[in-house]
């Protein structure tokens, strides 16, 4: 199973070094803040970046380009995370550009999708995720679809959102995973990997590990505690 630890904007340099020494290259894909990527790189970890510029190298103060990430041996990039879509109001066109730049550098993309609480209440979950998938998949080369991993993260289930700790039922996630799997198979004739994310923690992992069509987990809040993250991984291996 694929386990991605999304550390978000957390840790000091000292904390990051201690965390890295405890993670001990366990096979978890680690997604630290940009400045800490080299700490993990020197010990050969599988690295995921939390973001990437939609532009090529050049005068874009504050951005980090796909080629810079590649030079740090970053293998995966998170694109379309709900915090980027909703807090930073990143438009689909920017997300598409980010994906294209990442693919061009040979990186894989964890493309995050998911409905808001309001969309769920209005029975728009399937329509929302379908729109998010088609908006990207219609502009990339069919041969690149296997370099995309879907991160299904209902916005309302993210642990520091409006409903801390709430997750969909396994049945609800199974239905979404089936919908995504069939959509991508039917429209693009490709098999797609899906990770679940949103309040995954030690209390619910034994239940979530039973999901169908699930390739792994994208873990935010619970990944801040390295011992918890390693225990979650152990449960996923069983
Ligand atoms: P969470 O975050 O596990 O804290 O809900 C997941 C994510 O935002 O990727």
Angle at alpha carbon of residue 197, lines to 136 and 117, rounded to 5°: 80
197 in ligand 1 pocket by Cβ < 6 Å? yes
Range of the domain at 130: 2-237
pLDDT at 63 over 90: yes
For residue 64, the CA-to-ligand 1 centroid distance in Å is 22
For residue 161, the CA-to-ligand 1 centroid distance in Å is 9
The atom number, within ligand 1, closest to the CA of 200 reads 3
For residue 231, the CA-to-ligand 1 centroid distance in Å is 17
Residue among 85, 87, 220, 228 whose CB has most ligand 1 atoms within 8 A, to mutate? 220
Average pLDDT over residues 13-37: 96
6 in ligand 1 pocket by Cβ < 6 Å? yes
For residue 59, the CA-to-ligand 1 centroid distance in Å is 32
Catalytic pick among 81, 83, 90, 115: 81
Average pLDDT over residues 63-71: 98
| Shortest-distance Cα residue to atom 2 of ligand 1 | 220
Among 188, 180, 172, CA closest to 128: 180
Q: What is the 3-state secondary structure (H, E, C) of the chain?
A: CEEEEECCCCCCHHHHHHHHHHHCCCCCEEECCHHHHHHHHCCCCCEEECCCCCCCCCCCCCCCCHHHHHHCCCCEEEECCHHHHHHCCCCHHHHHHHHHHHHHCCCEEEEEECCCHHHHHCCCHHHHHHHHHHHHHCCCCHHHHHHEEEEECCHHHCCCCCCCCCCCCHHHHHHHHHHHHHHHHHHHCCCCEEEEECCCCCCCHHHHCCCCCCCEEEECHHHHCHHHHHHHHHHHHC
The atom number, within ligand 1, closest to the CA of 82 reads 8
114 in ligand 1 pocket by Cβ < 6 Å? no
Q: What torsion do the CA atoms of 50, 54, 57, 58 make, to the nearest 10 degrees?
A: -120
81 catalytic residue (yes or no)? yes
For 117-135, write each residue's pLDDT tens digit: 999 999 999 999 999 999 9
How far, in Å, CA of 116 to CA of 9, rounded? 22
| Residue 35 dihedral angles phi and psi, to the nearest 5° | -65, -20
What's the pLDDT at 163?
Answer: 72
| Shortest-distance Cα residue to atom 6 of ligand 1 | 220
220 in ligand 1 pocket by Cβ < 6 Å? yes
Average pLDDT over residues 210-222: 97
Sign of CA dihedral 32, 37, 40, 44: positive
Quote the number of domains for the chain: 1
The atom number, within ligand 1, closest to the CA of 201 reads 3
Q: How high does pLDDT run on average in the chain?
A: 96
pLDDT at 161 over 80: no
CATH code: domain of residue 135? 3.20.20.70
**Percent of the chain scored above 70 by pLDDT?**
99
pLDDT tier for residue 238 given thresholds of 50, 70 and 90 = confident
How far, in Å, CA of 102 to CA of 12, rounded? 27
pTM > 0.85:
yes
Average pLDDT over residues 54-80: 98
86 catalytic residue (yes or no)? no
């Amino acid at each position: 199973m694929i386990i991605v630890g999304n550390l978000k904007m957390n840790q000091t340099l000292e904390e990051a070094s201690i965390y890295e020494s405890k993670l001990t290259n366990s096979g978890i894909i680690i997604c630290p803040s940009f400045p800490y990527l080299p700490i993990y790189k020197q010990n050969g970890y599988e690295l995921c970046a939390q973001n990437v510029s939609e532009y090529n190298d050049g005068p874009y103060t504050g951005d980090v380009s796909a080629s810079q990430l590649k030079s740090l041996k970053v293998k995966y990039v998170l694109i379309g995370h709900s915090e980027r879509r909703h807090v930073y109001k990143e438009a689909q066109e920017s997300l598409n550009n980010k994906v294209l730049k990442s693919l061009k550098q040979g990186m894989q993309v964890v493309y995050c999708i998911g409905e808001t609480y309001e969309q769920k209440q209005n029975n728009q979950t399937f329509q929302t995720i379908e729109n998010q998938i088609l908006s990207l998949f219609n502009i990339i080369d069919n041969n690149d679809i296997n370099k995309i991993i879907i991160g299904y993260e209902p916005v309302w289930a993210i642990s520091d959102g409006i409903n801390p700790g709430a997750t969909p039922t396994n049945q609800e996630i199974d239905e979404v995973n089936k919908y995504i799997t069939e959509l991508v198979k039917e429209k693009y004739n490709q098999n797609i990997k899906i990770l679940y994310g949103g309040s995954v923690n030690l209390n619910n992992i034994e239940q979530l590990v039973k999901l169908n069509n699930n390739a792994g987990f994208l873990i935010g809040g619970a990944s801040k505690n390295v011992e918890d993250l390693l225990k979650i991984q152990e449960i996923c291996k069983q």
